[in-house]
């Protein structure tokens, strides 16, 4: 297809897979997320835990990237990264963040907003050592988000670390670990025909979840 302004404007999909009614949702948004997350797993979607994480600097400059969700419960949503990365620097300055999951095959998305804090060192270490050894070495070798002169310097560092820890455990770097986002606001979006989508929100007010429907 030729790439033209008109062709781009006409790219659209009409959503008809399901609906989201107030009577169908759980009063607890974490439970509701768990139901939808299980649906994504049961549908055998490719990496259903893929999400976009949006952060902002102290001055309010936004930044976003794709990450993997590594756990969730009543306390929040967990992910792991290099604390010295761009996202880590943003969260150090401004702990407010947003997550977004999009499952196009189910015509669903979930938006989550809240405050982020670090998980305990014990949780970070346990998860680090549960990863494949190559991933552990990669996390140790990479000065994430910093400028490097070429790829070879990174590959050489990986080779050095692979030799060093060939027979021993890779220690978790102090600059690598987990974060947990404690949700204050969630939106569950179900695509509907003619762009009249269902949007149900949960907002925490003094520890109690208030549920509302938003116009699409």
CB 189 within 8 A of CB 111: yes
Residue range 141-145: average pLDDT?
95
87 is in an annotated binding site: yes
Global model pTM greater than 0.85: yes
Q: What six digits make up the tokens of 203?
A: 């907002």
The string of DSSP letters for 57-103 reads: -TT--EEEEEEE--EEETTEEEEEEETTSHHHHHHHH--EEEEEEEE
Establish whether 195 is a catalytic residue. yes
Q: What six digits make up the tokens of 178?
A: 């987990």
155: pLDDT confidence band, cut at 50, 70 and 90?
very high
State the burial class of residue 120 (Cβ atoms within 10 Å of its Cβ: 0-12, 13-18, 19+). Answer: exposed
Residue range 93-102: average pLDDT?
98
| Rounded-to-integer distance, Cα 111 and Cα 51, Å | 10
How do residues 10-40 score in pLDDT, each as one tens digit?
Answer: 878 888 889 999 999 999 999 999 999 999 9
| Rounded-to-integer distance, Cα 179 and Cα 124, Å | 9
pLDDT at 93: 97
| Rounded-to-integer distance, Cα 204 and Cα 211, Å | 9
Residue range 187-215: average pLDDT?
97
Q: How many CA atoms lie within 13 A of 180 on its CB side?
A: 13
70 is in an annotated binding site: yes
Q: Which domains can be identified in the chain, with CATH numbers?
A: 14-131+174-213 (2.30.110.10)
44 is in an annotated binding site: no
Percent of the chain at pLDDT above 70?
A: 100
Give the mean pLDDT of the chain. Answer: 96
133 is in an annotated binding site: no
Q: Which are the contacts of 59, defined by CB distance < 8 A and separation ≥ 6? A: none
Catalytic member of 111, 157, 172, 195: 195
Q: What six digits make up the tokens of 208?
A: 């109690």
Which of 77, 81, 104 lies closest to 92 in space, CA to CA? 81
């Amino acid at each position: 297809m030729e790439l033209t302004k008109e062709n781009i404007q006409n790219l659209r999909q009409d959503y008809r897979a399901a609906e989201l009614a107030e009577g169908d949702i759980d009063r607890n948004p974490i439970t509701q997320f768990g139901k939808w997350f299980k649906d994504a797993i049961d549908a055998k979607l490719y990496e259903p835990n893929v999400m976009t994480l949006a952060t902002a600097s102290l001055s309010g400059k936004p930044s976003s990237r794709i990450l993997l969700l590594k756990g969730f419960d009543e306390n929040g949503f967990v992910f792991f990264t290099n604390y010295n990365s761009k996202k880590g620097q943003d969260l150090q300055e401004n702990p407010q963040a947003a997550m977004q999951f999009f499952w196009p095959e189910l015509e669903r998305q979930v938006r989550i907003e809240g405050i982020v804090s670090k998980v305990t060192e014990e949780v970070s270490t346990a998860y680090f050592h549960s990863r494949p050894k190559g991933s552990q070495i990669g996390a140790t070798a990479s000065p994430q988000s910093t400028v490097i002169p070429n790829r070879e310097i990174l590959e050489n560092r990986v080779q050095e670390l692979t030799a060093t820890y060939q027979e021993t455990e890779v220690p978790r770097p102090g600059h690598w670990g987990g974060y947990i986002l404690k949700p204050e606001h969630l939106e569950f979006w179900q695509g509907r025909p003619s762009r009249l989508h269902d949007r149900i929100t949960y907002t925490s007010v003094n520890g109690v979840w208030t549920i509302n429907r938003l116009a699409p």
